[in-house]
Amino acid sequence: MTSPVALITGASRGIGRGIALELARAATHDFVINYAGNEAAARECKELCEKASDGKVRVEIVQADVSIAADRARMIDFVKQTFGRLDLLVNNAGVAPNVRADLLDAGEESFDRLISINLKGPYFLTQAAAKLMIESPTLADFQKAIVNVTSISAYTVSTNRGDYCVAKAGLAMMTKLYAVRLAEHGINVFEIQPGVIETDMTGPVKEKYDKLFAEGLTPINRWGKPSDIGKSVIAVAHGHFPYSTGQVFNVDGGFHLHTI
Ligand code: NAP
């Protein structure tokens, strides 16, 4: 029996790890954990996934910086050589600005970094991955899909990290573009907009958000967990939305709701 295959970018830690663990628990897909530099974390994630799946799925790790073209090509080649197919791509890897700077002061270096990693990387990785997905024979019971992890920052203004907001808004449009282009190939494309999730990325602003949650930031009033995002990816990966594409899922505790 051929198993479907997934590639999750930035899966050594945080949300990506949460997605990998949920996929492992479901034990349906073999998958590749991508990381940028933290090999120890990627190896640990692989071990946890193997345990979570009770050894039922094959898990591999691959180092690649999604902002570098040669790394992207090597990663897709690794998937092809190792598994011979691809059914699910999760564009999760992303970074926050090193320094939160006011819109009137923020520099080009941070802008270029954020656009490269958070937008250009997934844009061209999707291009390459889609070609491999198209040539992979469709498996009964499994929906080929691409999931882009954007953010509430795709539509919420933070004037001290405009670069991040602009990159995520671009990624949201990328979802719509690929949704239309890939529909004829049976590949559905989704956007997940996480709210405030407890990971290394939000570590430096933990106190700020603790205070906001204490003041009632979201209707479901708690920090989000990587597994909250992981579970929504599973719903997509298991084909529960076969007649949807370009769909945005708010996985944010209700942050997006306006009240009066
Ligand atoms: P995180 O804890 O900082 O983890 C980042 C992950 O991305 C790590 O696995 C890291 O690999 C990888 N990575 C970073 N740069 C990369 C690159 N150039 N190429 C490949 N992999 C790279 O971040 P997170 O909070 O889990 O965020 C994951 C995604 O969710 C990001 O796209 C982020 O913008 C988005 N998001 C996060 C939140 C939140 O509240 N945390 C909210 C909304 C959206 P290494 O371990 O090797 O460094």
Over its C-alpha atoms, the chain yields an Rg (Å, rounded) of: 18
Q: Report the nearest-CA residue for atom 38 of ligand 1.
A: 197
Active-site residue flag, 164? yes
CATH node for 5-251: 3.40.50.720
The pLDDT tens digits of the residues spanning 85-142 come to 999 999 999 999 999 999 999 999 999 999 999 999 999 999 999 999 999 999 988 8
The pLDDT tens digits of the residues spanning 206-253 come to 999 999 999 999 999 999 999 999 999 999 999 999 999 999 999 999
Closest-lying ligand 1 atom to the alpha carbon of residue 67: 18
Q: What is the 92 CA–ligand 1 centroid distance (Å)?
A: 7
* Structural contact between residues 252 and 218, judged by C-beta atoms closer than 8 angstroms: yes
Distance, in Å, from the CA atom of 144 to the CA atom of 215, rounded to the nearest integer, reads: 41
The pLDDT tens digits of the residues spanning 147-168 come to 999 999 999 999 999 999 999 9
Please list every protein residue whose CB sits less than 6 Å from any atom of ligand 1.
9-16, 34-38, 41, 65-67, 92-95, 117, 149, 151, 194, 196-197, 199-202
Closest-lying ligand 1 atom to the alpha carbon of residue 13: 9
Query: pTM for the full model?
Result: 0.98
Of the listed 35, 123, 155, 164, which one is catalytic?
164
